Amino acid sequence: MLTGLKQINDILWGAPSLILLVGTGLFLTFILKGLQFSKLFYALKLAFSKDKEDSETEGDVSNFKALMTSLAGMIGNGNIAGVATAVTLGGPGAIFWMWVVGLLGMATKYAEALLAMKYRVKNESGEYSSGPMYYIERGLGKKWKPLAVAFAFFGAFAALGIGNSVQSNTIADVMQNSFNVKGVITGVILVVLTSLIIFGGLKRISSVAGVFVPVMAVFYIGASLLILGLNYDQIGPAFSMIFTYAFNPVSAVGGFSGIVVMEAVRNGVSKGIFSNEAGLGTVALIAGNAKTSHPVKQALVAMTGTFIVTIIVCTMTGLVLLVTGFWDTTGGLLSGVSHDPTLDAGALTSAAFGSSLGDIGEYIVSISVVFFGFSTILGWYVYGTKCFEYLFGLKYLGIYRFIYVGATFIGTVASLTTVWAFADMANALMMIPNLIGLLFLYKVIIGETNDYFSRFRKLSK
């Protein structure tokens, strides 16, 4: 079964899918006239300041809390192990292509959040529900409902896998290796903490995320900046390598076999998407809960999440690996370590931090992995319940909640190679319906954008 799943994933995550993802980002960037660049500072202002007009409109949580909940799902171990994997397999140039897919992904995230707000519905409990399944069905029409159902089905499954049990498995490994805490104990602690938060509903999750995510990000970024400060003379050469090897192969030196440019592109694009989730439609599952006076305002706030994750957090990891020289594993840095390549990449990041900060550096990475993984569990719970609610309604949501908590524990004590493969497949099968919806609803995206900015210009005169 595992071999078959890997073959399916090779097809689903092959060149056609990556071209579709990047192509959608390019198309949206073109029709929106590079909005993610020209309106970035305005978007950041909306994200981190209070707007009285927004607070008095209908919705469940503030713009900021919606963003933090989305970031809780995005800021995960992809920002540590995923970036390290991209750099070790694709060379320093992979970071450049990660930036490219992140900047284009900002337009994709903008479109997803805009449509989420435009087509959101109020459920029986009085909360808003949104996501690609709603804008596919309500925007494209009833005949497209099978596509909407497909997204919701695979989204609910992916939440149990890559958003939950895979994360708890990684947390358990780190707790065992760094702090000698057994998997069962980690599992019980995670179940208790997860239950206390998710059983309080969206408002409790968003409140926790509103505190948890900024602290977690500042902790990791602060440590990264400290290492860059200690190795300040290597920052210039690091950027030089990024731009040089984005368009030129990395030469073979010593035991290093070299890397062709195509590997830099492929790994930068795929790992960039893995870290920021642009195109998967996940941001649309929470964006519709925001209190905002216009869909475009929440869309602008949502796109800043991709900027924060890719351009800031992922760049920190990449630069640390480059300035410390720990991006090339062929020099024996990980000799004797026989684990999954992703875990080896995580160990490489830990070694890079440790080379400058000693044991405390390695503990910083370990703690970050634990907190990043836990935040992902919380964020993906919101995504999973939105998908499950669309399929079965609120009546049976309690069943999914208990399944989700159970998956958290299972992840800490089981081998999840097959679950990871299923989750990879589910992610790809979420992506395809979502991108179809975005492309077919491009006129709505343009119309709402033009409506808002024509009003904004009038008000600013």
Higher-pLDDT residue of 457 and 404 is 404
**Domain 61-249+257-327+338-443 in CATH 1.20.1740.10:** yes
CA distance 458 to 263: 48
CB burial of 223-244 (b: ≥16 within 10 Å; e: otherwise) equals: bbebbbeebeebeeebeebbee
Is residue 271 a contact partner of residue 4, using CB atoms and an 8 Å limit?
no
Question: Which of 461, 454, 449, 453 is CA-nearest to residue 107?
Answer: 449
**8-state DSSP, 60:** S
For the stretch 245-301, pLDDT in tens is 898 887 654 444 556 777 778 777 777 777 788 889 999 999 999 888 899 999 999
**Those residues with Cβ within 8 angstroms of residue 251's Cβ, 6 or more apart along the chain or in another chain:** 258
Q: Which pLDDT belongs to residue 74?
A: 80
State the CB neighbour count (10 A cutoff) for residue 339. 12
Q: Which pLDDT belongs to residue 355?
A: 83
Is residue 166 a contact partner of residue 407, using CB atoms and an 8 Å limit?
no
Q: What is the DSSP string of 142-163?
A: GGGHHHHHHHHHHHHHHHHIII
Q: Is the pLDDT of residue 460 over 50?
A: no
Higher-pLDDT residue of 86 and 440 is 440
Q: Is the pLDDT of residue 36 over 90?
A: yes
Q: Which pLDDT belongs to residue 330?
A: 47
Q: Which pLDDT belongs to residue 255?
A: 42
Q: Which pLDDT belongs to residue 339?
A: 32
Which residues are registered as beta bridge partners of 290?
61
**Mean pLDDT for all residues in the chain:** 85
Higher-pLDDT residue of 338 and 427 is 427
Q: Which residue bears the tokens 């590079």?
A: 34
Q: Model confidence at 43, in pLDDT bands (50, 70, 90)?
A: very high
Is residue 261 a contact partner of residue 248, using CB atoms and an 8 Å limit?
yes
For the stretch 314-363, pLDDT in tens is 999 999 999 988 776 544 333 333 334 444 555 678 888 888 888 898 88
Q: Which pLDDT belongs to residue 259?
A: 67
CB burial of 6-37 (b: ≥16 within 10 Å; e: otherwise) equals: eebbeebbeeebbebbbebbebbbeebeebbe
Burial of 146 (0-12, 13-18, 19+ CB in 10 A): exposed
State the CB neighbour count (10 A cutoff) for residue 260. 13
Q: Which pLDDT belongs to residue 332?
A: 34
Q: Which pLDDT belongs to residue 23?
A: 93
Burial of 325 (0-12, 13-18, 19+ CB in 10 A): middle
Q: Is the pLDDT of residue 52 over 80?
A: no
- 7-21, 63-77, 164-178, 330-344: which range is least confident on average? 330-344
Q: Is the pLDDT of residue 459 over 70?
A: no
Indicate yes or no: pTM above 0.85.
Answer: yes
Q: Model confidence at 96, in pLDDT bands (50, 70, 90)?
A: very high
* Domain residue ranges of the chain, discontinuous segments joined by +: 61-249+257-327+338-443
CA trace torsion 349, 350, 353, 358 (10° rounding): -160
For the stretch 432-453, pLDDT in tens is 999 999 999 999 999 999 999 9
For the stretch 100-157, pLDDT in tens is 989 999 999 999 999 999 999 998 888 899 999 999 999 999 999 999 999 999 999 9
Q: Which pLDDT belongs to residue 346?
A: 59
